[in-house]
Structure 1
Amino acid sequence: MLIELLVSLPFLGLCTILSDVSDALGILTPPILLFWFYYSQKLTLSKNYFDEIDGVYAGFAKPVGPFSQNKGVHAGFIMNIVETNTNGYFKGSFDYGENQYLTQEFTPKYDLVRSGAFTFFGKIDYKMYKDKSRHPYNLNENRTYQGILYIVDRLDFPDEFNIEMYVKMEYRITHFREMQTFKFELIKDSPLNSFELPKSFTLYKRTGVVFEPYENVKIAVFNGTTLVE
């Protein structure tokens, strides 16, 4: 009897250990499953969001000038975001122009006073929102996301580089998702930058409707021709 008890002791100890492990797993499993569900949902939802960002955006802005007269002056952007990855990094280019409408001897004349094409990359952060019906044209109901846009001289960076050498301007981004609108606010301007841009502006995504900002900016500012499309 004693011998059987001694033989069974290791087995009983193993059973106790296995029981403790099972209890621990039972306690840990719900949080682990909850975390995995949250993580997988965030991956799926963030990918859906980042897939929405690519496209052409446009909007009018306050002219930098100066102009001989402020009448008939239009300034604006046409931006093309060509690629956004699953981590929220994006890249593209935009046109900025300032066009002045003049009348010479009763003949209308459009003069593109200042214009430039720029390259950029940026990062926008995703966050989860409660799923509910939202009015797309009520900014208070829009889901908003924050990020940074960097205007750079080039994107073909060498293997070893200091990004500060190539960044000309930095803008803070606010993205209104349902309205498909980006708001930009200048936060840093390099002393090496020779082309001044507006300190703040808002761009709206091209959707194909009549009289949208894209069509108006393309005609009023760029006379129907842009470089970034």
Structure 2
Amino acid sequence: MAALASPLPPHKSVLLDACTSAGCLAFGTFTLKSGRVSPYFFNAGKLHSATLLRCLSTAFAQTLATYEPALDFDVLFGPAYKGIPLAAVVTEKLATVDDKRFGQVSYSFNRKEKKAYGDGGTLVGSELKGKRVVIVDDVMTAGTAIREAVDIIEREGGVLVAIIVALDRMEKMPPRDGEDPDAPAPSAIGEVRARYGIPVLAVLTLDDIMKELKALGNDEDFKRMDDYRAKYRPVD
């Protein structure tokens, strides 16, 4: 997908190219869990080969390392299940970006069910008590998984300082039962930002994808994406 003169930073354009080549980012007609009919679909679970993981972890690490004001954190927390490999590979990649700054960063993730033998517990990896924690996940749709992760971190005595996801779809949250589907609403990321008062970063956004499509001259997919964005634009 990457154009010869991409309008995006290298880590974003390389990742977008990898995503389209692997079928992780696809264009067409897709019915989402919310019932919305989307002109594109993103599945980070398909980025499982060594080369693709390198692109993904590099993009995550660059996004965290270059965020201003600089983030200070001790642990990357990956919510089960998709967040688990992300937390591990991004932790390693951060050390290659800046070992002095990130060489002591650890990862942690939760089990879905509490271990009933050995040392017990629901966490694997670093303990969270007294640690500054960043949640790492793929996509935030309704924010439910993030709220569950926040509850775990708080229960374990950690301090949440930021959240980072692979993609921000930049669309309003699906309506809850009884709500008007056409009523204005925030995005999942906007709601989480407001609720917890912390930075919520995205490696890629809908705007990034559309900029790349425009640079490639892909007018058909760009128009469909633009129509979708207008229909589900959030208030934040």
Same fold (TM > 0.5): no
TM tier, smaller: under 0.3
TM-score by length of 1: 0.24
Q: Could you say which structure has the larger radius of gyration?
A: 1
More helix per residue: 1 or 2?
A: 2
TM-score by length of 2: 0.24
More strand per residue: 1 or 2?
A: 1
